[in-house]
Amino acid sequence: MSKDVPCVAVRIHGAAGEVTGSCYEVTTPHAHLLVDFGMFQGAPEQELRNTIPPDLDFATLDAVLVTHAHVDHCGRLGMLPGLGFQGPVLATEPTAELLPRVLTSSATLQQTRTQEHRGGTAPSSRVLAPHHLASSIPIRKDPPVVLFTHRNAERVARSVRAIPFMEWESIADGVEMRFLHASHVIGAASIELRVARPDGGEPVRLLFSGDIGPIENPLLAPHQWSDRPADLLIMESTNGARRFPQVDQYQLLIEILKEARAKNQRVLAPVFALGRAQTILQLLARASRDGILQGMPVYLDSAMAVRASELYARHPKLLEESLHRQCIRGTNPLHFPELHTLMSRRESESIDRVKTACVILAGSGFCDAGPILRHVQLAIDQPDTRILFTGHQLDGLLGHGLLNGATRVEINGAALDVNAKIDRIAGISGHGDSDDLLTWIGRMAGPPKTIALVHGSVEARSEFASILRQHVTSDVVEPALGDILRVT
């Protein structure tokens, strides 16, 4: 980085050496922008950090740009009216469709959690045995954080403006932007900024990767790349130290389904509403076509996941080629005859008495709240139950404990033996692994001049930084919270 007078400055307000809280402030000679305004997630002390807004003047922001609709990238947008922001929120079309629902349901959830806390009915879960797992379970004592009201969520929702992929848009004095497909979840984008120089020279090019999906994505269309190298790439590094095992996930899934059907077992799968749910649905749709699911209903117990899934079918051009063709033929690639969607608590409870072989997909993906926790509570002590994990589980939460051999747990105050079979299918991720990330950079028009690694643990990004220095450029930085990166 040069020490000359900067043309562009990027200040890191989140996701510095961690995987949540994405938020970057861009200052140019004539404009002031924010890229992402995500929540910090995890333990209660992480959630508390959300109450302290970044130290910047929100009233002077020309626009807020959003890479995608995951809460670690967009979850604090509902705070914008309270902070004095009055400009537009810019997103791709699918993200713009999702954001109002994500923000209003987040406001509702914040309200519900407060009421549950006051009434002593907040969902709870922890491992009781073996002891070494029990010790890591955090106990939540403080009241949950309330960041914004329903009214403010709706105000922000009204300010969201959609911009098509790959189209340059002038968004502020001397600044143009465009969205590039990131193959992560529906609507997810990298953001390219072109900033005019005061002297009329070549514009400064910034690229914010957002979350980068796998290069070979079975669900989504391939990534889009810029035709010009970036001066500064702000890049995620979630899986920078990880290489996924080469396993056939579909084969593993159908083995589980065949056995469950033969033994009359229920398969409970914790999923996140946007991304993981659709990846699993796509595999189940294939299993349905292959006749594996005959007589075995699949319940999708999440209104948000149902709505997000509909969105995939409404944007066929963003889907993987064969799925795109299915959509063109009029077939929804995420729908199949055995699928039943449950949109309310009442509908969720209607399957409590189902004792025959079935699959239940429900949130939360960490298995610590939402309808999945109720399903698990009702069935975990029964040997005709399987709990299928397909994603990373946070240390200290119930899902992590179950994957690591918990034998007795407490859910909503009830102590229960774990008699359910615990299954895991590894390697299903919305994020590319280190090989994918390297390939993504390798397919750019040229290596970025500088790469700043964010959105990864300190260890993951440090390991990925070494890989990048070896293969791409020596100018790789690992910024801390509050650091300012300058491009001259």
Closest CB to Zn ion among residues 244, 299: 244
Closest CB to Zn ion among residues 189, 195: 189
Chain CA centroid to CA 455, Å: 12
Closest CB to Zn ion among residues 46, 114: 46
Closest CB to Zn ion among residues 27, 282: 282
Residues that bind Zn ion (CB under 5 A): 70, 211
φ/ψ of 239, rounded to 5, equals -105, 30
Closest CB to Zn ion among residues 6, 456: 456
Chain CA centroid to CA 29, Å: 33
Closest CB to Zn ion among residues 18, 231: 18
> Among all chains, which residue has been given the structure tokens 């809280």?
21
Distance CA 437, CA 205 (A): 20
Tokens representing 328? 């063109």
For the CB of residue 370, give the shortest distance to Zn ion in the complex, in Å.
Answer: 18
- Minimal CA–CA distance to 236: which of 217, 214, 219, 220? 214
Residue whose CB is nearest to Zn ion in the complex, by number: 70
Tokens representing 313? 């079918």
Query: Is the CB of residue 345 less than 8 Å from the CB of residue 253?
Result: no
For the CB of residue 389, give the shortest distance to Zn ion in the complex, in Å.
Answer: 19
For the CB of residue 34, give the shortest distance to Zn ion in the complex, in Å.
Answer: 17
Closest CB to Zn ion among residues 70, 178: 70
CA dist list (Å): 483 to 10, 11, 16, 131, 479: 8, 6, 9, 41, 6
For the CB of residue 36, give the shortest distance to Zn ion in the complex, in Å.
Answer: 10
Burial code (b: 16+ CB inside 10 Å, e: under 16) for 51-84 equals eebbebebeebbbbbbbbbbbbbbbbbbbbbebe
For the CB of residue 461, give the shortest distance to Zn ion in the complex, in Å.
Answer: 16
The sheet carrying 339-342 orders its strands as: 339-342, 298-301, 358-362, 266-270, 385-389, 421-424
Closest CB to Zn ion among residues 70, 375: 70
For the CB of residue 166, give the shortest distance to Zn ion in the complex, in Å.
Answer: 20
Structural Rg of the chain based on CA atoms:
23
For the CB of residue 240, give the shortest distance to Zn ion in the complex, in Å.
Answer: 15
Query: Is the CB of residue 343 less than 8 Å from the CB of residue 357?
Result: no
For the CB of residue 485, give the shortest distance to Zn ion in the complex, in Å.
Answer: 22
